[in-house]
Amino acid sequence: MPTVPCNLVITAPEIDALLHARHAAPHAVLGMHPCVKKGQHGLVVRALVREAVRCAVVAAGRREAWAMTRLDPAGLFEAFIPRRREVFRYQLRIHTAGGEMRQFADPYAFLPTLGAQDLYLFNEGNEHRIYEKLGAQLRTVDGTAGVAFAVWAPNATQVSLVGNFNHWDGRYHPMRSLGASGVWELFVPGLGEGELYKFFIRDRQGVVHAKTDPYGTHFEGPPNNASIVCDARKHRWQDDAWMRRRAEQAGRTDRPMSIYEVHLGSWRRKPEDGGRPLTYRELAPALADHATEMGFTHIEIMPVAEHPFDGSWGYQVTGFYAPTRRFGPPEDFAWFVDHLHQRGIGVILDWVPAHFPRDSFALALFDGTHLYEHADPRKGAHMDWGTLIFNYGRNEVRCFLQANALAWLDRYHIDGLRVDAVASMLYLDYSRKEGEWIPNRHGGRENLEAIDFLRQTNELVRRYHPGAVTIAEESTSFPGVSRPVAEGGLGFDYKWNMGWMHDTLRYFSREPVYRQWHQHDLTFGMLYQHAENFVTVFSHDEVVHGKASMLFKMGAWHIPEKAANLRALYAHMWAWPGKKLLFMGGEFAQSHEWNHAASLDWHLCQYPDHEGVRLLVRDLNRLYTGEPVLGENDFNPQGFEWINADDAAANVIAYLRRDAAGRTLFAVVGHFSAVTRHDYRIGVPRAGRWTEVINTSSGFYGGTGTGNAGGVVAETVPMHGREHSIRLTLPPLSTLIFKWSAEA
């Protein structure tokens, strides 16, 4: 450390800068420094301590102490220690006006807690564990426990750490700039978990912005929004067996996946406790019981990253690294995931890298400039949601988001990320009129930076967390969403099948008498079915904003007919190729639209029309997960074959599901008219018995009880280009699934 000439009192401009929180290099002034005073070598120590009327420098481990001179009533002190050239470890001992005495390590006595390599990789966009470097990190430095704070604010002129420990006064913990990295840092000894904090960031115009920590792991609840120092790794995991099996299945898509989409705040509430939502620890056993009973393999939870507004459902995030405090602390969220894993249920998280809200305390205009977002609203403003779009071309922003994806998988053992609103990321003209967007460097509409970001993120997930999956909610025909990056794709494992969903719901929303003119809504999807690894979905987006519940979408007048339609639709969905996803409430035919502020209507399960749907979904999951020909052949083009797609007049479709060798066969017959059809014949590829394994009109499911007495035997009667056929009774508004066996 260089020796500089020193007077007993620092200059007035430096005092003014410190006392008005404008000093950009506080470590150059505060703390201990070698100096020369009147030709004598020694050390100068300066401290700025709130509420102190007296202060002394105490040598660590020794009885030596030096009284300090108070330079300002705000708590600015200075002492000269003669004949000492080497900086040594020390503490500050203060006395307050109330007579209290405290002794503690000086924050300005410590070297930076981030190294040059950390900063280089961050600025390059390649520090994939930056969430362990920036933010608030519990550390022990030189034997002293405390918290290392670091924040990226490259355009700030000064940054202060504020919190309940300094009464939110920006004068007392100014942070040091780590040069061209744009990172500001401070280690505060003695702090620990539970401390509330923010960053006061002074921009180039002198305006101070009070900001929460972008890397914060825990936050206050509204209307407050401070970050909270928190150890996100306190939970002791018990899911080793699950994680080992998951890694062994890395890269495999030939396994069944039936996903139950859940909004934690409204799945079930406690009416005896003011209708409050369940906590993470209450939710986990109840959800595990339900998912296990119903045969779901995974739960997908709508975003749990911290967000201020309940009505955003979690899709407008302000705390990207923090599980929401609504249901408990981060340790309880880890317990939630761990419990589900131990019960054999995977956990998929909705992840939102497409946009962020304009809340003044969060990412928007973070250091007084458009740091995380594009400055030009033609690229940086989302027209539909009133939010801001990330600048995917900025290395540090890309690093923030990619590390965020990895942090959820690392800290909380999440099994997959369903990436929200991918279409809005892929296109520069998404939801924009002519003149409201800027073409890419080739003159096209594709957002090349976002495409690169998605590809890199998917590759990183695959590299660091084998067996974890990524799923795209992508509503256009962008090519190769679920194809490998090496083949020019985006690298997702799966893509939601939005086209099939819209077409099929459009068909079932019509009254049966009109369906014969819309058969193509049922059949068109097979033209592109194997272009992607599809998840067949009925998500939360389909049961809100006046769209009606799944039950009330059905084209019928009376509840029993609506329930029959819904049962037929679900059986067709589970038999159709693709992984499955169903939003909560759909499994028991919830009547009302989903309301994020209230519990599902579980009482409906006492009624046959609703309980019948629930029992059917349970049995469909058991069939799907128990029959390899279904779950293992979702993406095998030879696993599907039309029997008859042309009988629009009868509202009938029929198709086969088979394995590659053709050893296991299922025949699926959907009959979506309101009449019973007798002696209806379909061609089949094999002689033998065709057992009726699912009949959605079974009395067990609340149907009419009409069916085929458990199965039929194929006859040597040519039909649909095949030598054999089966003669069926088709109940109204039904789907039948038959399994072939050689023995008649």
- Alpha-carbon distance of 58 to 49, in angstroms, equals 15
- Alpha-carbon distance of 80 to 42, in angstroms, equals 7
Per DSSP, the residues of 311-367 read GGTT-S-SEEEEE-GGG--HHHHHHHHHHHHHTT-EEEEEE--S-B---TTTTTTTT
Given a cut of 90, is residue 11 above it in pLDDT?
Answer: no
Q: Look at residue 711 in the predicted model and tell me its pLDDT.
A: 95
Q: Look at residue 226 in the predicted model and tell me its pLDDT.
A: 97
Q: Is the dihedral of CA 47, 50, 54, 56 positive or negative?
A: negative
Across 98-115, average pLDDT: 94
Q: Residue 255's CB: how many other CB atoms inside 10 A?
A: 13
| SS3 category, 136 | strand
Q: Give the residue range(s) of CATH 2.60.40.1180 domains in the chain.
A: 636-741
Q: Which residues are catalytic?
A: 420, 473
Dump pLDDT digits (tens) for 159-207: 999 999 999 999 999 999 999 999 999 999 999 999 999 999 999 999 9
Which among 688, 686, 661 has a CA at the least distance from the CA of 742?
A: 688
* Residue carrying structure tokens 């699934």: 737
| Percent of the chain with pLDDT strictly greater than 90 | 92
- Alpha-carbon distance of 173 to 150, in angstroms, equals 12
What does pLDDT average to over the chain? 95
Which among 499, 269, 246 has a CA at the least distance from the CA of 348?
A: 246
Q: Look at residue 26 in the predicted model and tell me its pLDDT.
A: 95
Q: Residue 555's CB: how many other CB atoms inside 10 A?
A: 20
Domain 636-741 falls in which CATH fold? Immunoglobulin-like (2.60.40)
Are 102 and 94 in contact, with CB atoms under 8 Å apart?
Answer: yes
Given a cut of 70, is residue 155 above it in pLDDT?
Answer: yes
For the CA atoms of the chain, what is the radius of gyration?
32
> What b-and-e string marks burial along 696-718, b requiring 16 or more CB atoms within 10 Å of the CB?
bbbeebbbbebbbeebbebeeee
- Alpha-carbon distance of 253 to 469, in angstroms, equals 10
Across 624-633, average pLDDT: 93
Are 355 and 389 in contact, with CB atoms under 8 Å apart?
Answer: yes
Q: Look at residue 574 in the predicted model and tell me its pLDDT.
A: 98
- Report which residue type is found at 405: A
Q: Look at residue 7 in the predicted model and tell me its pLDDT.
A: 54
Q: Residue 119's CB: how many other CB atoms inside 10 A?
A: 23
Across 411-430, average pLDDT: 97
Are 714 and 725 in contact, with CB atoms under 8 Å apart?
Answer: yes
* CA angle 309–315–318, rounded 5-degree value: 60
* Residue carrying structure tokens 């006392």: 19
Q: Look at residue 383 in the predicted model and tell me its pLDDT.
A: 86
- Alpha-carbon distance of 342 to 344, in angstroms, equals 5
Rounding to the nearest 10 degrees, give the CA dihedral for residues 608, 610, 614, 619.
50
Dump pLDDT digits (tens) for 547-606: 999 999 999 889 999 999 999 999 999 999 999 999 999 999 999 999 999 999 999 999
Are 678 and 706 in contact, with CB atoms under 8 Å apart?
Answer: no
Q: Look at residue 744 in the predicted model and tell me its pLDDT.
A: 66
Q: What is the DSSP letter of 593?
A: P
Residue 260 β-bridge partners: 299, 582
Q: Residue 720's CB: how many other CB atoms inside 10 A?
A: 16
Q: How many residues does the structure list for the chain? A: 744
Dump pLDDT digits (tens) for 27-53: 999 999 998 877 788 999 999 999 999
In the chain, what's the furthest Cα-to-Cα distance?
115
Residue 535 β-bridge partners: 496, 579
Q: Give the residue range(s) of CATH 2.60.40.10 domains in the chain.
A: 4-109, 116-228
Query: Does domain 116-228 sit in CATH 2.60.40.10?
Result: yes
- Alpha-carbon distance of 143 to 127, in angstroms, equals 27
Q: Residue 650's CB: how many other CB atoms inside 10 A?
A: 17
Q: Is the dihedral of CA 407, 410, 414, 418 positive or negative?
A: positive
Are 482 and 489 in contact, with CB atoms under 8 Å apart?
Answer: yes
- Alpha-carbon distance of 509 to 635, in angstroms, equals 28
Q: Does residue 223 have a cis peptide bond before it, meaning omega lies within 30 degrees of 0?
A: yes
Q: Please return the burial class of 147, using the count of CB atoms within 10 Å of its CB with bins 0-12, 13-18 and 19+.
A: buried
Number of H helices, E strands in the chain: 15, 39
Per DSSP, the residues of 538-557 read E-GGGGSTTS--HHHHSS-S
**CATH architecture of the domain covering 256-630:** Alpha-Beta Barrel (3.20)
Q: Look at residue 646 in the predicted model and tell me its pLDDT.
A: 95
- What interhelical angle do 330-342 and 240-248 show, nearest 10? 70
Residues 6+ apart with CB under 8 A from 189: 104, 105, 106, 107, 110, 141, 144, 145, 146
Across 5-13, average pLDDT: 68
Which among 109, 93, 186, 108 has a CA at the least distance from the CA of 147?
A: 186
- Alpha-carbon distance of 580 to 577, in angstroms, equals 9
Work out the end-to-end distance of the chain between its first and last CA atoms, rounded to an integer number of angstroms. Answer: 92
Token output for 440: 């890419």
Question: Could you tell me where the beta strands, DSSP code E, fall in 229-313?
Answer: 258-262, 269-270, 276-277, 298-301, 305-306
Across 411-418, average pLDDT: 98
Dump pLDDT digits (tens) for 238-255: 999 999 999 999 989 989
- Alpha-carbon distance of 346 to 338, in angstroms, equals 10
CATH class of 4-109: mainly beta
| SS3 category, 425 | helix
Cα–Cα separations (whole angstroms), residue 414 to 127, 309, 340, 407, 408: 21, 24, 11, 9, 6
Which among 467, 504, 361, 490 has a CA at the least distance from the CA of 419?
A: 490
Q: Residue 399's CB: how many other CB atoms inside 10 A?
A: 22
Token output for 580: 């499955």
CB-side neighbour CA atoms (13 Å) of 339: 18
- Alpha-carbon distance of 24 to 344, in angstroms, equals 53
Dump pLDDT digits (tens) for 306-340: 999 999 999 999 999 999 999 999 999 999 999 99
- Alpha-carbon distance of 17 to 11, in angstroms, equals 10
Dump pLDDT digits (tens) for 364-404: 999 999 999 999 999 999 988 999 999 999 999 999 999 99
Given a cut of 80, is residue 501 above it in pLDDT?
Answer: yes
Read off the pLDDT band of 687 (50, 70, 90): very high
Q: What is the DSSP letter of 30?
A: S
Q: What is the DSSP letter of 220?
A: P
